Chains A and B, each alone.
Chain A
Amino acid sequence: MKRIQRRDKLKIYGDLLSALRSESASEKIVLTKVQAKINVPFDRMKAYISELVGLGLVRSETSLKLTEKGIQYLREYDRVLNFMKRMGLLYQ
């Protein structure tokens, strides 16, 4: 049986921001879809979203949306992960 790898908070934040970015193309973000993508319990996902709002990476007005800071963070996160993958280092 394949072992499910543990993720740390940073990885979950990255996955959550990526999911929010891909979902933001639709009119309204459906949180259950986001939850299915990042694979965390719903209540914990809500807590993570609150933390991201607190950090100024996500805006929660009428709908959830990545702020400019969030977009920049995600861009840098993707770049560093891509670099680590290319260098043969895995971040789990």
Chain B
Amino acid sequence: MYELERITVEVVSAIVCFILVRFMVKPFRLTGETRYLGLPLGFGILGVSYAFSALSYSPLSDYTVSGPVQLLVRAFAFFLLAVTYFFSKSERKPKLMWNITFGISVCTMTILMILANVFGQFLWINYQTARVFANIFNLICLVYVSIHALKSHMEQSDPTTLISPLGYVLLGIGQYSLLVWSVDASIFAFFGALALRLAGLAVFLFVSYRSFYSSERGRK
């Protein structure tokens, strides 16, 4: 039901994420520090997961394979974002720790993807349970990132820094709505989650535009 609407939202979300990658990669390119690599990778992988979701709703794809894969990929994306915020505040700049964490998470992700493909049928049987756990995991990651971004805003006391925590909060509420949908199959919760996700991503687009283009226009 509502397949076309779902596919449209997933495709739009994926496109927005890929546009955001272009901005999110700039801190890494300027500083050359790998601890900022999680931001473009996180949004890029998030975009890939939305593309997988769009594919899973289409009649061309086998949902028993693409369903579990998009769950894993999305969880990995939120994990990368949380790790980036975790390491961003460290004054000692633990390059090695970030590299180790990143390496371990990539290995874990690869193993899980292989398992999802080899034991696809098995995962499909437990798919509903896996979806609930994945949503809880994503929610925890987003709550962590939101708190981190809000704390950073409170330290800065600059009103412009409040916008990005709002984006993460919207994504977090969206994940919570998905959790509600996983449990009671409420269609309102599902479409609410999609709307909140789009709003959250729009917030990040706004922040990126304001940072890189709006200020440039002001100078001219």
B126 within 8 A of A: no
Once the chains are docked, how many angstroms separate the CA of A80 from the CA of B85? 16
Considering the complex, give the chain B residue whose CB is closest to the CB of A92. B91
Kindly state whether residue B143 has any CB partner on chain A within 8 Å: no
Number of residues on chain B facing chain A (CB within 8 A): 33
B30 touches A89 (CB 8 A): no
A40 to B7, CA, bound (A): 56
- B13 contacts partner chain A, Cβ-Cβ < 8 Å: no
Among A6, A75, A83, A85, contact of B156 (Cβ-Cβ < 8 Å) = A85
A1-38 to B contact mask, C-beta < 8 Å, 1/0? 00001100010000000000000000000000000000
SS of A interface (majority): helix
How large, as a class, is the contact surface on chain A?
A: 10 to 19
Which of A75, A80, A82, A87 lies at the interface centre, i.e. has the most chain B CB atoms within 10 A of its CB? A87
B129 contacts partner chain A, Cβ-Cβ < 8 Å: no
Tell me, yes or no, whether B61 is within 8 Å of chain A by CB.
no
Stretch from B70-78, B96-104, B186-194, B203-211 that touches the partner: B203-211
Q: In the complex the two chains form, is B215's CB within 8 Å of A86's CB?
A: no
Contact A86-B161, Cβ < 8 Å, known A79-B212, A92-B91: yes
Chain A residues with CB under 8 A of B84:
89
- Does A90 lie within 8 Å of B208, measured CB to CB? no
The residue on A at minimum CB distance from B162 is A86
7 extra interchain contacts, Cβ-Cβ under 8 A, other than A10-B32, A76-B30? A80-B27, A83-B211, A84-B36, A86-B160, A86-B211, A88-B165, A89-B39
Q: Which 8 A-B pairs have CB atoms at the shortest separation, nearest pair first?
A: A88-B149, A83-B211, A88-B152, A89-B88, A80-B30, A87-B164, A80-B26, A84-B27
Contacts from A to B (Cβ < 8 Å): 5-6, 10, 75-77, 79-80, 82-92
User: Which residues does B use to contact A, with CB under 8 Å?
Assistant: 23, 26-27, 30-32, 36, 39, 84-85, 88-89, 91, 148-150, 152-153, 156, 158, 160-161, 163-165, 207-208, 210-212, 215-216, 219
